Amino acid sequence: MRILAIAMVAAMATTSALAEETVAVEATPMITGAVNLDFAETTAGKTGGTMGIELDIDAGSLATVDLDLKATDGSSLTLDTWAVGTSVAGVGLTFGDDNGLLPSTTANTATDGTLADPAMTESVVATVGSLSVAVGLVDWTADITDVSNLQGAYTIDAGSANLTASMDYNRASENTVFGGEVSGLDIAGLTAGALATYDTDAEAVAYEGTVGMSGLTAYLNGSDTNKLQHVGGEYTMNYNGAELSAGVDYDTDSEDWSPMAGVSFSF
């Protein structure tokens, strides 16, 4: 694993150098942002609001820099996610902290999702065509050769939909999680999708189905031991430069409704 991590870092450096030698491209950074007002039910059963600011900095053509910064009322601006990378001759290399390759839930919060979500912090991702491989690092600031987990994903364009198979292997626990996803399936004007994961240690299957149409996204999820756990959806629309959103999640076990709403002003 030490040799693998060193090789990945060396490959990124070499590819970046090749990009500089091949063509000189001046990229102007693109800075976008949004001010968000979000409202949701609190643990006390009341409706509470939060104000947040998001800034997104993107720069690059062959070389890419993506910085996402966030702040809430009363807190400092912090770097939420980041990625740097380059792509040459069909080979892409990216280093950052938001490179997970397994299916992710459509539910509003992670607590409403059922899919297995293996942790991956900073990682190096290599992409060739439809194949991506990620090498996760335990703490890259202390030891860039200490590998935490490996992930891989391969996508097939089946014409009517995209099919993706993925997996995660954790070096410490030796646990493997398999993932699968169907996306972009057009059914009578609806865009449908399906996601699933299988955790080999827990012997647990989880799944989620989604549909979308004209600003509306709906989902339902469950597992092999609890067939239907959450049903929810969200509707978004633009009005005079503001994005308005409203949604709800229904927990079938607790029979609890969790509404949410938001207003976002982009700049």
Q: Which residues contact 17 (CB under 8 A, 6 or more apart)?
A: none
Q: What is the pLDDT of residue 57?
A: 86
Token pair of 55 as six digits: 């800034």
For residues 248 and 232, is the Cβ–Cβ distance under 8 A?
Answer: yes
- What are 162-174's pLDDT values in tens digits? 999 999 999 999 9
Q: What is the pLDDT of residue 64?
A: 81
Map 3-33 to HEC letters: HHHHHHHHHHHHHHHHHHHHCCCCCCCEEEE
Q: Which residues contact 216 (CB under 8 A, 6 or more apart)?
A: 233, 234, 235
- What are 225-261's pLDDT values in tens digits? 999 999 999 999 999 889 999 999 999 999 999 999 9
Q: What is the pLDDT of residue 256?
A: 93
pLDDT lower than 70: segments of the chain: 1-28, 60-62, 109
2: part of which helix (H) or strand (E)? helix 2-22
Q: What is the pLDDT of residue 120?
A: 92
Q: What is the pLDDT of residue 61?
A: 60
Q: What is the pLDDT of residue 235?
A: 97
- What are 63-79's pLDDT values in tens digits? 788 899 999 988 888 99
Mean pLDDT for the chain overall: 88
Cα(177)–Cα(166) distance, rounded to whole angstroms? 8
Q: What is the pLDDT of residue 216?
A: 95
